[in-house]
Amino acid sequence: MAGRIHKSFRKCTMAAFGTVFMPQMTLATFEDGQWSDIQTVPSDRLEFHPGAHVLHYSSTCFEGLKAFRHDNGDVCIFRMDANIRRMAQSSRLLSLPPIDEAQLHQMIVDIVTQFKGDVPTPPGSMYIRPTHIGTEAAIGKAAAPSMSSLLYVLLSPVGDYFAGGDVTLRLLLEENGQRCAPHMGMVKSGGNYASALGPISRARESVDADQVLFCPNGDVQETGAANFILIDGDEVITKGLDSSFLHGVTRDSILTLARDLGMTVSERDLTVDELIERAQKPGTEAALSGTAAVLTPVGTLIHNGQEFQVGNGKPGATTLRLREALNNVQWGKAEDAHGWLTRI
């Protein structure tokens, strides 16, 4: 199967992101205080008890990263070690059994190597989804962690995220709620995403917003699925790291490249008032950062029934420049100065 494009990918460019999967995945289980050997198994099923901890008490976390095909035929995984470290952190904060970071590294390498020939050419990529779930069948353990777990790595070939062209997003600023509990923000857990679905759906229905930018008590944090970045001239502004929001790997990569380009990076608190004031200045840009799209431009902010255009309301030159700079590293078209690529 490796060495050719798997038949499921033929329709991938027309399918929704993350809905096409490679037929196998790697898997390991934690039982009796130790991890099993790595297995390669079909990716269309999992077996665990209906009383599994994950199904009742949401003991689950995941990661999202990508492998890219370079012009010379090499396949490279982008910032795998950073994603593995964050998964270890999420597992620890959720009281899941501690992952073996070296084993997860091998699980990712093994399955990407198996389907190396199926990694699309840029702007496509192979999306990699490691997932860790608590499997102990014990519905009486609402206040205790799962003593067993299951870790697997799923692959999904994806096409060009911007195949329909660059468009700017509309964000509703939400000051009366937040994406998740403050101490859970830095955990990449499914429950955090689920808790944001209601506000996002209401924002779409009420003001035709694409996403909600959560700003509890006026503190600009993140959207339901991405970090937020404001660009004012040569300054990049984004919230400083704390436990209330996800510490995005793409966010960190963009900020690093901005510094390389001589820009000023300000990781600090940003209020809604300051955001709206700066956003209306000519030349100001805003964007959302994440694994899927790298940087998606924001054109409109909606607050208290008013709409505020960000800059000229169109994709900004600096946003596109930063996205291109990161893509060039991922695609092997620029020097990997920070050692972000793992060659398979």
Q: Per-residue pLDDT tens for 209-261?
A: 999 999 999 999 999 999 999 999 999 999 999 999 999 999 999 999 999 99
Residue 40 pLDDT: 98
Does position 95 have pLDDT exceeding 90, yes or no? yes
**How far, in Å, CA of 256 to CA of 50, rounded?**
44
pTM for the model stands at 0.93
The pair of structure tokens assigned to 213 is: 């930018």
Residue 12 pLDDT: 47
In contact, 238 and 287? CB cutoff 8 Å: no
In contact, 267 and 242? CB cutoff 8 Å: no
**How far, in Å, CA of 249 to CA of 90, rounded?**
14
Q: Per-residue pLDDT tens for 121-139?
A: 999 999 999 999 999 999 9
**pLDDT category, 14, cuts 50, 70, 90?**
low
The pair of structure tokens assigned to 12 is: 């991938």
Alpha helices in 173-242 (DSSP H): 190-207
Q: What is the DSSP code (8-state) at residue 220? A: -
**How far, in Å, CA of 326 to CA of 261, rounded?**
12
3-state secondary structure of 143: coil
Q: Per-residue pLDDT tens for 167-216?
A: 899 999 999 988 988 888 999 999 999 999 999 999 999 999 999 999 99
Residue partners of 220: CB distance under 8 A and separation at least 6: 173, 213, 228, 239, 269, 270, 271, 272, 275
Q: What is the DSSP code (8-state) at residue 223? A: B
**How far, in Å, CA of 52 to CA of 149, rounded?**
9
Work out the end-to-end distance of the chain between its first and last CA atoms, rounded to an integer number of angstroms: 17
